[in-house]
């Protein structure tokens, strides 16, 4: 899978990394980070037949942070800007 740019992203992690590819993300003032990932055709088939997605997290020995995998865009539109649904524990639209 590849991290991709999306409407509302406001920063890119790893721009100068020699180890990791750039990762476009939305980061809120509250510390939430949202990324969008695109699968190759082969990955889609593999997930279709196995029903599994593995998560490999690099913590550098820091505490593991809670994360959510979802096929639903986790943003609500608000007059004041983009708000994520993650901090309230609600389902995305």
Mean pLDDT of 18-40: 94
Radius of gyration of the chain from its Cα atoms, rounded to whole angstroms:
15
* Domain-embedded: residue 93: no
* Per-residue pLDDT tens over the stretch 53-91: 999 988 889 998 888 888 888 887 655 555 666 554 444
Distance of CA 40 to the CA centre of its chain: 16
The reported pTM is: 0.76
State residue 80's pLDDT score: 54
What residues contact 49, with CB distance under 8 A and at least 6 apart?
none
Q: Print the domain residue range for 64.
A: 2-88
Strand residue runs (E) in 1-93: 2-4, 11-13, 23-27, 33-34, 36-38, 75-78, 81-84
Q: How many domains does the chain have?
A: 1
């Amino acid at each position: 899978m590849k991290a991709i740019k999306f409407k509302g992203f406001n920063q890119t992690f790893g721009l100068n990394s020699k180890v990791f590819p750039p990762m476009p993300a939305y980061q809120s003032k509250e510390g939430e980070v949202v990324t969008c990932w695109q699968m190759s055709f082969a990955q889609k088939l593999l997930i279709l037949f196995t029903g599994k997605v593995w998560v490999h997290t690099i913590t550098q020995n820091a505490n593991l942070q809670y994360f959510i995998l979802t096929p639903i865009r986790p943003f609500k539109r608000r007059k004041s800007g983009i708000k994520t649904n993650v901090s309230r524990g609600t389902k995305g639209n």
